[in-house]
Structure 1
């Protein structure tokens, strides 16, 4: 069995990544909260390649999201599929640099 860890970096990477997770989730019958609502067993057959099944049957993307700007992370979190990510999916970001 193989797993994919999806790395999203920067504003562009996170915008493309957010769309990627919407498409993949739709293909696998997973809604924006990470709950399976599909109509075919085939949709879940290889879902473990992209998702980890968490407590309560929720599917969480195998992804790491990073950016130096907190606004990008906020945009992903407030987006259509923002609830599907756990807080630890979001890597560190730098608010300000001291001098």
Structure 2
């Protein structure tokens, strides 16, 4: 956290878990049917923020077919 508001710092635990060394990890579960999307997130600039076990994905996508993915 980089800021001056004590109130914001108090409420960090709503959206983040504090890890070792005052590092904050987002409380998030990332879900997709296609593993390629998750690979792109992991390789992106914010990929290291998320816990690896919070990525949930299938083996193949729905091919842009909503009915198949639902």
Fold match by TM threshold 0.5: yes
| More RCO (CA 8 Å, sep 6+) | 1
1:93 corresponds, among 54, 58, 70, to: 58
The residue number in structure 2 matching 1:84 is: 49
Normalised to the residue count of structure 2, the TM-score between the two structures is 0.70
Unaligned runs of 5+ in 2: 61-70
1:39 aligns with 2:3: yes
How many residue pairs were aligned?
A: 60
Q: What's the counterpart of residue 57 of structure 1?
A: 22
**How high is the TM-score relative to the length of structure 1?**
0.52
Consecutive unaligned residues of structure 1, counting only runs of 5 or more, are: 1-35
**RMSD of aligned alpha carbons:** 1.9
